[in-house]
Amino acid sequence: MFDTFLKGKTAVVTGSNSGIGLGVATELARAGCNVVLNSFTDRDEDHALAAALGKEHGVSARYIRADMSKGEDCRALIEQAGACDILVNNAGIQHVAPIPDFPVDKWDAIIAINLTSAFHTTAAALPVMRKAGWGRVVNIASAHGLTASPFKSAYVAAKHGVVGLTKVTALETAEEPITCNAICPGYVLTPLVEAQIPDTMKEYKMTREEVVRNVLLTRQPSKQFATVEEIGGTTVFLCSNAAAQITGTTISVDGGWTAL
């Protein structure tokens, strides 16, 4: 659909050695972008993943280690990338517990990785985009950036914060050829979601299928997971010229969740 119109642009995708981040990086590479993959590990397989992605799509692809819980690492990621036409703030973690029992270290880590990292990377990337005269910031928020669920206090607070940061970034760049939007996925079957299934099966004494349909997808009217390719395709659309006047908003990819 979009061919290779992003040829030569450089996209930095945080938290992209698995799940949605990898799906987004893959679709951006398919559209012709050079891509920078990232996570906090520095394993041979991380670098091999980037090499394979670059080879498959005929683009330059690199892996840069940076821990998104640390502000200096977030800023160093953008600096080491050398260019940053497209920034996708995707890194995220989850923890589920009632507020009185919510471990403080988990609260701090979720706010740091899911929200504060996007502030640091955006602060470092905007001057680079301004110099290049073009830019796109895509924040991967969540249906939990627009609505809430019990026991996910830190995650819901962080994702609502990401939606707020998205609006401010858009207003501060409104007169420039730079846009900033948030994608709000419903449930996407990735390692982050997969990890929640065994505990939920035990807790509710349910089969995997029952957990998927009656717990995870209970608020997703389509009763289907969104896919990483769909989140990637939505990102590519937001980077297209057709989306030049779309800024400061959210796009839900949630099978109808937020229509309820």
Among 26, 121, 122, 142, binds ligand NAD (CB under 6 A): 142
Shortest Cβ distance from residue 174 to ligand NAD (Å)?
25
Q: Is 63 a catalytic residue?
A: no
Tally of CB atoms within 10 A around 194:
10
Site string for ligand NAD, 17-56 (x = CB under 6 A): xxxxx----------------xxx----------------
Shortest Cβ distance from residue 203 to ligand NAD (Å)?
19
Among 192, 197, 215, 243, binds ligand NAD (CB under 6 A): 192
Q: Is 138 in the site for ligand NAD (CB under 6 A)?
A: no
Rounded to 5 degrees, what angle do the CA atoms 115, 187, 239 make?
A: 60
Amino acid (1-letter code) at residue 247? T
User: Which stretch, 52-60, 90-98, 119-127, 241-249, contacts ligand NAD (CB under 6 A)?
Assistant: 90-98
- Four-CA torsion 119, 122, 126, 129, nearest 10 degrees: 180
Q: Is 188 in the site for ligand NAD (CB under 6 A)?
A: yes
Closest to ligand NAD by CB, 83 vs 110, is: 110
Contacts of 245 (CB under 8 A, 6+ apart): none
Count of residues of this chain found to bind ligand NAD when the rule CB under 6 A is applied: 28
Q: Is 68 in the site for ligand NAD (CB under 6 A)?
A: yes
Contact criterion met (CB below 8 Å) for 102 and 95: yes
Cα–Cα distance measured from residue 137 to residue 121, given in angstroms and rounded to the nearest whole number: 10
Tally of CB atoms within 10 A around 102:
17
What ranges make up the beta strands (E) of 6-85? Answer: 10-13, 34-39, 61-65
Contacts of 53 (CB under 8 A, 6+ apart): 25, 26, 29, 35, 37, 59, 61
Among 69, 166, 179, 250, binds ligand NAD (CB under 6 A): 69
The site for ligand NAD (CB under 6 A) is made up of: 15-21, 38-40, 67-69, 90-93, 113-114, 140, 142, 185, 187-188, 190-193
Give catalytic residues, as residue numbers: 155
